[in-house]
A and B are shown apart, each in its own frame.
Chain A
Amino acid sequence: MPIAFSIYRFDPESGDPPHMQAVELDADSGTVMVLDALLLLKRRDDSLSFRRACREGVCGSDAMNINGRNRLACITPIKGLTQPIALRPLPGLPVIRDLIVDQSQFFTQYRAVKPWLINHDPVPEIERLQAPADRAALDGLYECILCACCTTACPSFWWNPDKFLGPAALLQAWRFLADSRDQASGERLDGLEDPYKLFRCHTIMNCVDVCPKGLNPTAAIGRIRQLLVKRIL
C-alpha cells in the first residue's frame, strides 16, 4: 500500500491561492521519517520547498505542522501517522513558500530577551566557573533548539505575535535568570514585567505538549512570575 501525503503548496510568484496537494510514495521506498519522504518527493518535484539541515533533531530547521501538530519532520516516524499525512507550514507565521515560514517575528522576540550572559566582572583568563548544582539549574533550559514548534503552537502568540514574547523566548529569559553567572536579573525582570510580553501566557501548555526536546516553557514562565512576586512581596 502506498504512503499518502497531503502537502500545503504555495507559490507567491504564481498568484494562485495556497492549496493542498495529494501525493503518494511507494511503501517500499525505504522512508522511515517524514523528512525522508519529503526529500524523495523533492527529487520528484524540485519546486517543493522546505527547510532542513542536520536531519537528526538537533538544528530545528524542519519544524512543520504534521497531522495538525507541530513537530520536527526528521524525527517523526511515518509509521504511526494517520494517512494521508497532512504537512502544513508552522501556524501563526507568514508563509514564504510551501512549508517555509518567515521566522522574523519569532527571532525578534528571542533577541528581545537578551539571550546572552551579562556579567560585569573582568573576563577571567580561562572561564567563568560554576558549581555543579548551579550548572544543574540550567538543565531543561539550555537544550532548546529554537525550532519554533512551541511558540507557533501558542494561541497567545497567534493573537499578539508582536507583543507577547512567546514560550521559546520566555524559556530563554528564564535560562539566563537562572544562570548563577548572570548579573542582570533586575534588568531582565524589569524588561519582562509587562501586561503583554509575559502575562499574555494563560498556561494553555500547548508549548509543553509539542516541544520535540521535551522541555517545559510553562514551568519556566511560572518561575519568572515567582521571581517577580518575590520582588514585591
Chain B
Amino acid sequence: MSARDLGSARAGLNGWLAQRITALYLAGFSLFATLRLLLDPITDYPAWRAWLSGGAMRLALAVFLLTAIVHGWLGVRSVLMDYLHPGGWRFSASVAVGLGLLALALWSVQIVFWDLRP
C-alpha cells in the first residue's frame, strides 16, 4: 500500500505556520542584536552578562533560543522528508536531531535561568 492510499495526515499546516512565525522573530531579534552590537560593541564578559541579564533582554533571549530550536527542528525535519527516503533511516535521523535539539534546549534553560540569574 502506497502512502497515497492512506489519505491525508491532517497535519503539516501547524509546522509550516510555526516555521514562518519563528522566522519572523529570529529575523527581528537578529537585526536588533546586530545593530545593538555594531552601534555599541561589547568587549568583555561582565558587559555581556549585564546586557543579557536585564529583565526584558533575558526574556527576549529566552524566546530567541526557543524559536531557534523550534525553527531548526522544522527545517531539518523538512530536509529529511525531502531527501531521506528509507523510513527507518528517516525515523532514526529525526530522533537523533530531536535529541540533539533537546540537549540544546536544556542548555538554553541553564543559561537563561541559572547562568544569567541576577
Contacts and interface: CB of A to CB of B under 8 A. Distances in A.
Interface of A: 108-109, 112, 156, 159-160, 162-163, 190-200, 202, 225, 228-229, 232
A108 B17 CA distance: 28
- Do most interface residues of chain B lie in helix, strand or loop, or is the interface mixed? helix
Interface stretch (B5-13, B46-54, B64-72, B109-117): B5-13
Nearest to B77: A195
A200 B82 CA distance: 7
Contacts of B16: 199, 225
B45 interface: no
A159 B83 CA distance: 6
A198 B12 contact: yes
Contacts of B8: 190-194, 197
A195 B82 contact: no
22 contacts: A109-B4, A156-B82, A159-B82, A159-B85, A162-B2, A162-B4, A190-B10, A193-B8, A193-B9, A193-B11, A195-B12, A196-B9, A197-B8, A197-B12, A198-B12, A199-B15, A225-B13, A225-B16, A229-B13, A229-B17, A232-B13, A232-B17
Given A199-B15, A199-B16, A163 B3 contact: yes
Interface residues of B, number: 19
Contacts of B2: 162
A159 B78 CA distance: 12
B10 A194 contact: yes
